[in-house]
């Protein structure tokens, strides 16, 4: 679906339609996960949901879903096991997903006694549009119109989820210099942790990656360089002097890099 930093991940557009705007008092009436799996196979999981309460007319006017449409449908909790499996370790893409859709999911998981799934990353295209300083309004419909993306059934969960994926693709195509880093760089920027927000990923991406590290460690003239996280740009030699605890974490089972690989690199350096 998208190349570059998202290659090799399950990437899913995520959207919900609800009875209202409050995650605490309102409920989900439709969900959609649209995208591709790690092997490139298509994923299209969407369904109406019975909220076990009436859908206000003002909400029906937005998404077109009425009480009659959801009568006989199962509750959201019955869909959660499959949704949790799909979302876990996936890259989730949504428009205003962080403040809206994800909050609904968190509270529905809590009510049903499930742990909230942990995705590999969440990419909020509303936040991304603001960070990239795209001119004009940043509503999904406005941004899609800007990039000639047609939403056939706007405010239906599957149409919006699919449109959001196309929107992300368009952003990546129109701002290629901003997506030269990896997924961690993008997450840092969206969370406001990127010191230089004018570009995602410095020239580290041009250095040869260390085998088996997925580009997180790279070869340089100064030694092995960290290419992600808070010590991005520092060498392993520097970290031995300033942050040995980070090195311990880097070579532990919880590290995103094989602990065996890191241990071998450190041992070779010390020798």
* 191 domain-assigned: no
Ranges 28-42, 163-177, 246-260: which has the least confidence: 246-260
Q: Which pair of tokens denotes residue 112?
A: 């049903």
Look at residues 124, 144, 179 and tell me which one is the last residue of a structural domain. 179
Whole-number pLDDT of residue 114: 95
Domain that residue 216 falls in? 203-270
Give the pLDDT confidence of 57-105 residue by residue, as tens digits. 999 999 999 999 999 999 999 999 999 999 999 999 999 999 999 999 9
Last residue of a domain, one of 179, 211, 244: 179
pLDDT band at 193 (very low <50, low <70, confident <90, very high): low
Alpha-carbon distance 46 to 50, whole Å?
13
pLDDT of 151 reads 86
Q: What is residue 121's predicted lDDT score, i.e. its pLDDT?
A: 92
Looking at the structure, tell me whether residues 43 and 147 fall in a common domain.
yes
Q: How confident is the model at residue 202 (pLDDT cuts 50, 70, 90)?
A: very low
What's the burial of 64, exposed, middle or buried (CB within 10 Å: 0-12/13-18/19+)? Answer: middle
Judged against a pLDDT cut of 80, whether residue 244 lies above it is answered with yes
Instruction: Name which residue leads in pLDDT, 204 or 236.
Output: 236
| Sheet containing strand 11-18, strands side by side | 42-48, 28-36, 11-18, 91-94, 121-124
pLDDT at 238: 81
Decide if 130 is inside a domain: yes
CA 215, CA 198: separation in Å to the nearest integer?
A: 21
Q: Residue 194's pLDDT is what?
A: 53
Tell me the pLDDT tens digit for each residue of 154-172. 779 999 999 999 999 999 9
pLDDT band at 1 (very low <50, low <70, confident <90, very high): very low
**Average pLDDT of the chain, as a whole number:** 88
Q: What's the domain count of the chain?
A: 2
Q: Could you tell me if 161 and 231 lie in one domain? A: no
CATH number where 42 lies: 3.30.420.10
The CA distance from 40 to 37, in Å, is 5
Question: How far is the C-alpha of 182 from the C-alpha of 237, rounded, in Å?
Answer: 23
């Amino acid at each position: 679906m998208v190349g570059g930093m998202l290659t090799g991940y399950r990437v899913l557009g995520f959207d919900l339609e609800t009875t209202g705007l409050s995650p605490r008092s309102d409920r989900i009436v439709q969900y959609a996960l649209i995208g591709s799996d790690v092997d490139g196979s298509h994923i299209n999981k969407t369904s109406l949901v019975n909220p076990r309460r009436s859908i206000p007319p003002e909400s029906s006017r937005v998404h077109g879903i009425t009480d009659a449409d959801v009568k006989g449908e199962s509750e959201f909790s019955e869909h959660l096991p499959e949704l949790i499996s799909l979302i876990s370790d996936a890259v989730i893409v949504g428009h205003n997903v962080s403040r809206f859709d994800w909050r609904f999911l968190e509270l529905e998981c809590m009510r049903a006694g499930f742990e909230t799934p942990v995705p590999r990353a969440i990419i909020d295209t509303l936040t991304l549009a603001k960070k990239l300083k795209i001119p004009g309004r940043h509503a999904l419909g406005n941004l899609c119109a800007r990039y000639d993306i047609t939403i056939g059934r706007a405010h239906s969960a599957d149409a919006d989820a699919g449109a959001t994926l196309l929107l992300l693709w368009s952003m990546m195509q129109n701002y290629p210099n901003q997506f030269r880093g990896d997924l961690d760089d993008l997450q840092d920027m969206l969370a406001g942790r990127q010191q230089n927000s004018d570009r995602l990923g410095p020239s580290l991406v041009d250095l040869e990656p260390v085998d088996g590290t997925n580009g997180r460690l790279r070869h340089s003239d100064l030694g092995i360089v960290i290419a992600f996280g808070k010590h991005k740009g520092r060498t392993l030699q520097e970290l031995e002097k300033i942050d040995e605890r980070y090195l311990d974490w880097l070579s532990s089972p919880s590290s995103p890099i094989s602990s065996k690989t890191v241990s071998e690199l450190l041992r070779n350096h010390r020798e």
